Amino acid sequence: MIEKVDASINVPRFFFTEPWEPLVVRRGDALGLSALLDQFADAVAPDFSNRIRDGRWVTILAWCLVQSQQVFHASGGRSVSTRKEQNERYAWLRPLELMWVARTITLLEKEDWKQRSLAGQRRVAPWINKQSIERFGMSPEQFRAYRQTGTYGGYRRAFRKWPGMTAGDGWTPGPKTMALAKWLDAKLKGAQLKLGDDLGRSAKTGRGKECNWWLNHWKGFAQSGKNADVNTLPRQKNDFAVLPEAEILKPIIFGDDPRGQKRIKVVRAIQKSVATNHLELCQYLSIQFKDDPIIARLYSFSRLADAGMAAMDVIAEVLRDKPDIALKEAAQHKNAVSVCKELLAAAQAWRKVPAMQMRHIEAAHRFAGAITTDQPIECFRILLQHHETYGGGLHWFVLRNGRVEAGTPPTNSASRYGFRLWSLCRLATQCGVLKTMPKALLDELANSDDEYDE
């Protein structure tokens, strides 16, 4: 049951709000454009991320934040101003995240829960039948990395930035988080969590053993009930129906604050678009928001990034599972000529974009400036050199003595640069702001960027 959370610690605090430790090296920045991409994404979908993909998870995490805050305080925790204190705070939150994954898997058929965003599912699913295994079946490294790879890690920006969610620290529940938690708590019915009168004593003894503590105190976490799926579980990725809690969520995400108004303005513009793909939609937004100096350049940037990634994909397709290939093999691919022509055209178009002051814009200037030919061998050579020099995370491949040597194979979630438009529009449908998901975004899969386990 939701009790009042003590938020009275109002002393000045410094918060560590950037990624915690670089435990997971991503491979989604093949061209070194992600920092600039964030500037464009902030313009069309401020305070969002590509991992905020389901409004129901906002509700679930609000509930987890409120419940874990009570226990954190009962265990003696108060401040979250140091990294150590934040680690202690998250130690009480993480088991609840994973128990919600386990609850969803337990209550649904595999074909059903596989269609939902459940970070850690590969470890949690086997754990369900033998709950004696520690850390929900995760290794110590996986469990530690879950702070980034887990659902809260993906949604933390919302809890830090959206009005009324927390005190701005991402931890201390605000009135909106409390309202969502109270709503969900009522829907849990028989699965409702009831913390005992000895909370203070038991929580103190549970420090360092938070997983076992929660499993012992929320034994009915997987209990079903009337409308348990519709009212309590994460939604399928292709489910765009209005959520029952939309009345609470909508003013938070699409409210009267400047950023909420910007989101709703972009969504309403998208609703009028007849674009059939992501690039066309970016072009449409660039026209509709031509007076916004950043959004006006969205199409040119998206075209450049997409063209670069299309060329990367050709090389990856030729390489496949081979340890290496001759560069000329990639240049002989049936699509090599067309992708290199488009890459040169996109680079030339970017170079014609009027100069402007924008953080990290030199990354696009550098990439576009390097592409000076559409001849496949030379074009691919330039692309590979750029990827090795400026690409972020793990490299797909490297060029050595005229041969392309395999690195870390790309995944679906690493294949394209996105601007949070799918996430923004999905939550807009769930809040009733959009009637249907825009046609231009329907082909975008809900990639597992927030669901990898390794």
242-256 pLDDT, tens digit each: 999 999 999 999 999
Query: How many angstroms separate the CA atoms of 392 and 190, rounded?
Result: 47
Q: Name the residue among 261, 270, 290, 246 with its Cα closest to residue 422.
A: 270
Quote the pLDDT of residue 8: 43
Tell me the β-bridge partners of 398: 405
Quote the pLDDT of residue 453: 41
Q: Are 113 and 93 in contact (CB under 8 A)?
A: no
Angle CA(415)–CA(416)–CA(422) in degrees, nearest 5? 125
Query: How many angstroms separate the CA atoms of 19 and 148, rounded?
Result: 7
Q: Give the neighbor-by-neighbor strand order of the sheet with 397-400.
A: 324-326, 403-406, 397-400
Q: Checking phi first, is residue 135 left (phi over 0); if not, alpha (psi -120 to 50) or beta? A: left
Quote the pLDDT of residue 25: 44
Q: What residue ranges do the domains of the chain occupy? A: 54-236
Q: What is the pTM of this model?
A: 0.89
Question: 15 or 353: whose pLDDT is higher?
Answer: 353
Q: Checking phi first, is residue 275 left (phi over 0); if not, alpha (psi -120 to 50) or beta? A: beta
Query: How many angstroms separate the CA atoms of 312 and 396, rounded?
Result: 9
pLDDT band at 411 (very low <50, low <70, confident <90, very high): low
292 by DSSP, 3-state: which?
coil
Quote the pLDDT of residue 4: 52
What are the CA-CA distances from residue 260 to residues 46, 48, 294 (Å)? 8, 11, 18
Quote the pLDDT of residue 12: 41
Query: How many angstroms separate the CA atoms of 38 and 70, rounded?
Result: 35
DSSP per-residue letters across 369-389: HH-----HHHHHHHHHHHHHH
DSSP per-residue letters across 296-356: GGHHHHHHHHHHHHHHHHHHHHHHTT-SEEEHHHHHTSTTHHHHHHHHHHHHHHHHTSPP-
pLDDT band at 31 (very low <50, low <70, confident <90, very high): very high
Q: Name the residue among 357, 354, 256, 288 with its Cα closest to residue 44.
A: 288
Q: Name the residue among 298, 301, 304, 270 with its Cα closest to residue 286.
A: 298
Q: Are 380 and 330 in contact (CB under 8 A)?
A: yes
Quote the pLDDT of residue 413: 45
DSSP per-residue letters across 200-268: HHHHHHTTT-HHHHHHHH-TTTT---TTHHHHHSPPBTT--PPPTTHHHHHHHHSSSSHHHHHHHHHHH
Arithmetic mean of pLDDT over the chain = 91
Quote the pLDDT of residue 132: 72
pLDDT by residue (tens digit) across 69-92?
A: 999 999 999 899 999 999 999 999
What are the CA-CA distances from residue 15 to residues 19, 71, 169, 307 (Å)? 12, 21, 6, 39
Burial (0-12, 13-18, 19+ Cβ within 10 Å), 304: buried
Q: Name the residue among 193, 202, 211, 166 with its Cα closest to residue 58.
A: 166
Question: Which CB contacts under 8 angstroms, 24+ apart, belong to 246-251?
Answer: 246/55, 246/430, 246/431, 246/432, 248/59, 248/176, 248/179, 248/180, 248/183, 249/55, 249/58, 249/59, 249/180, 249/427, 249/430, 249/431, 250/431, 250/432, 250/433
Quote the pLDDT of residue 108: 96
Q: Residue 385 carries which side chain, given as an amino acid letter?
A: Q
Number of CB atoms found within 10 A of residue 256's CB: 9
Query: How many angstroms separate the CA atoms of 355 and 312, rounded?
Result: 27
The tokens describing 101, both together, are: 């994954």
The tokens describing 188, both together, are: 């849990």
Quote the pLDDT of residue 450: 43
Query: How many angstroms separate the CA atoms of 128 and 220, rounded?
Result: 13
pLDDT of 26 higher than 80: no
Quote the pLDDT of residue 164: 97
pLDDT of 451 higher than 60: no
The tokens describing 133, both together, are: 């295994």
pLDDT by residue (tens digit) across 279-310?
A: 999 999 999 999 999 999 999 999 999 999 99
For residue 175, give every residue at least 6 positions away whose Cβ sits within 8 Å of its Cβ, in sequence order, or none.
164
Query: How many angstroms separate the CA atoms of 97 and 44, rounded?
Result: 29
What are the CA-CA distances from residue 175 to residues 121, 285, 409 (Å)? 31, 34, 44
pLDDT of 323 higher than 80: yes
422 by DSSP, 3-state: which?
helix
pLDDT of 27 higher than 60: no
Q: Residue 435 carries which side chain, given as an amino acid letter?
A: K
pLDDT of 432 higher than 50: yes
